[in-house]
Amino acid sequence: MLRAPGLIFATLILLACNAGPSTSEFSESQAQSGPESSDLVTSPISSTEEEVENRLANIGEEFSANPELQSAVLSGPEDHLSDEKSGERFTRPPAVKGLYVNAWAAGSRTRMDALVDIAQRTEVNAFVIDIKDASGYVSHSTEVEFAHEVSATEEIRIRDLSGLLMRLEQEQIYPIARIVIVKDPIVAVSRPDLAVQDSAGGVWIDSKGIVWLNPYKREVWDYHVDLAREVAQMGFPEIQWDYVRFPDAPEQERERAVYPGADGLSKTEAIRNFLSYSRVALASVGARVTADVFGLTTSASRDVGIGQLWESFIDVVDAALPMVYPSHYWSGSFGIDTPNAYPYEIVNSALGDALRRSAQVDGAASTIPWLQDFTLGDPPYGSPEVRAQIQAAHDAGINEWVLWNPGSRYTESALEPIGGFREEPLVRVGNTLIPVSRRWELIDTTTVLPDTLDGR
C-alpha cells in the first residue's frame, strides 16, 4: 500500500491538537462521554521516561442476510457463553469491581506495582486495560496484518502483554481488554474509504477536527474482531468495546455525514449487528463481549443519533457499561440543577432507569456502570463523591462497577479495604457530606428503587 508518510504524520498531529472532550453537543439533551473521555484530561507529551510513564491515555449487511448468524445471537448472555468458555485461565469475579488502566500505565512496572497494590488492599478485583485507545495505536506487538498495513503498530506501549497477563493471573486480578472502534485517526488517514464521508466530498471531519470510521463497514468490524480474538487467545477472558457508536456532533454537522454501505439499515441496527457479529465471532475463543455506552442511553427513549438505544443492544452483549458520570449531565437532569454536586442521586437515578428498561427485554445483559473518579468542575471529586456513586449503584441493585480516571490514578480511600472500613465513610448526598449510614436523611426515596433499600 502506498502512503505519504509526511502527510499522514502532519494529519495525525493536527488531529491530536484538536482532540477534546467527547461530550456530546445535542441541542435538546446532554449525552455523556465515557471511558472514551480520556480526552477530558490532557497533558503535554514528553520523551522522558518519567513523563511517558505518567502520560495519560491518548486520547452490517452481511449479518442481516445470514439467518444462521442471526439465530446464533438470539439467546441471552447466560445461554450464549457457557461457564467453561467464560475464561479457563481467569475466573470472573461474582461482582466485577474494576479500575481503568491506560496503556502507558499497563506498560510501566512502577505504575502496575501501585495499581496491583490497590487491588491487594481493597475490594478491587479487575483491571480494564487499553489494547487500542482513541489514538488508533495498538498497545502491544500484534500479529494482526491490517494493523501493520495502516501503521498502527508504531507506538508499542505494553511491551510484554503476556507477562502482564501472567502477573494478573498470579495476583487473581480479572483482566478486561478495552478496544476503541470508530475513533481511530490512524485507520481513517491510511484508509479514508473506511471513514465517514462528507456530502461535499472527501472525508467528513467534525468541528473538533476528528475523523471517524464508518460503523457500517465490515472491514472495520473485522479489524477490531481480529484484535480482540488475538488478545483473547493470549488470555483476556473479556473484550470491552468502546466508541461502539456513530459520531456525536451537532445536528447541522451530522447532516453532512455520509455512510457508504448503510443500504437502508438504521444506525441502531448497525450497532446491534456489529455487537451480535462480534459476540458470535469471539465465542469460539471463550471471550465475553461487553460494550461501553453513553450514560444517556439508560434514560433516553430514542436514539440521539449515535446508534445506541438501550433495548437495541442490551440483549446482544454480556454486559453493558453506561458511563453515568455526574459531571457529564446537563443542568436539569433528573430534576437536579447541578448534577456534578449530586453524584449519589445522578448515578442512582440513571441506573434505576437502566434496570427498569432491561426488565422489559428478554435475555437482557447485566449493567455495570462506569463511575467518575476525576474532577471536572465543582465540587472537586474525592473519596465522598466516589464512594457516593458506588453506594448509589448498590442501592439501585447493582454491586458491580468500574472507576474511570484517564491517568489511572485512583482515590483509594473511597474503596473498601479488605476487612472493611475502620471508620464509617462519608458520602456526598444532597450536596452535603454525611456518614453513609445517614444518607437516607437526605435522599428523596422516590428516586431510589424501594425494594433495594437495606439500610446499609
pLDDT along the chain (456 residues), means of 10: 34 34 31 45 31 34 39 33 54 98 98 99 99 99 99 98 98 99 98 98 95 98 99 98 96 94 98 99 98 98 96 99 98 97 98 99 99 98 99 98 99 98 97 96 60 36
Asked, for residue 298, whether it belongs to a domain, the answer is yes
The torsion of the CA quartet 182, 4, 11, 16, rounded to 10 degrees, works out to: 70
Asked, for residue 434, whether it belongs to a domain, the answer is no
Place of cell 502532519: 10
Burial string for 306-339 (b: 16+ CB within 10 Å, else e) reads bbbbbebbbbbbbbbbbbbbbbbbbeebbebeeb
Vertex 42 angle, CA 373 and 369, to 5°: 30
Vertex 343 angle, CA 341 and 344, to 5°: 125
Asked, for residue 192, whether it belongs to a domain, the answer is yes
> Which amino acid, one-letter code, is at 335?
G
**Considering its fold, how many domains does the chain have in total?**
1
Return d(Cα 354, Cα 396) in angstroms, integer.
Answer: 10
Return d(Cα 124, Cα 97) in angstroms, integer.
Answer: 5
CB 366 within 8 A of CB 315: no
Helix, strand or coil, per DSSP, at residue 377: coil
Q: What is the CATH number of the domain that holds 281?
A: 3.20.20.80
Asked, for residue 376, whether it belongs to a domain, the answer is yes
Contacts of 301 (CB under 8 A, 6+ apart): none
Asked, for residue 113, whether it belongs to a domain, the answer is yes
Run of H or E including 162: helix 161-171
CB 401 within 8 A of CB 390: yes
CB 411 within 8 A of CB 383: yes
Domain span including residue 105:
5-414
Helix, strand or coil, per DSSP, at residue 43: coil
Return d(Cα 186, Cα 8) in angstroms, integer.
Answer: 8
Asked, for residue 428, whether it belongs to a domain, the answer is no
Alpha carbon 242 to its chain centroid, in Å, reads: 5
Place of cell 481513517: 188
Return d(Cα 129, Cα 139) in angstroms, integer.
Answer: 10
> Which amino acid, one-letter code, is at 43?
S
Contacts of 318 (CB under 8 A, 6+ apart): 77, 80, 81, 238, 279, 288, 289, 290, 365, 366
* φ/ψ of residue 86, rounded to 5: -80, 5
Residue 127, CA atoms < 13 Å, CB-side half-sphere:
31
- Say if residue 61 is exposed, middle or buried (CB neighbours under 10 Å; 0-12, 13-18, 19+): middle
Asked, as a colleague might, if the bond just before 250 is cis with ω within 30 of 0, I would say no
Q: What is the DSSP string of 86-142?
A: S-SSSPPPSS-EEEEE-HHHHT-HHHHHHHHHHHHHBS--EEEEEEE-TT--BSS--
Asked, for residue 345, whether it belongs to a domain, the answer is yes
All three cell numbers of 178, joined, read 478495552
CB 369 within 8 A of CB 347: yes
- Say if residue 259 is exposed, middle or buried (CB neighbours under 10 Å; 0-12, 13-18, 19+): middle
Asked, for residue 455, whether it belongs to a domain, the answer is no
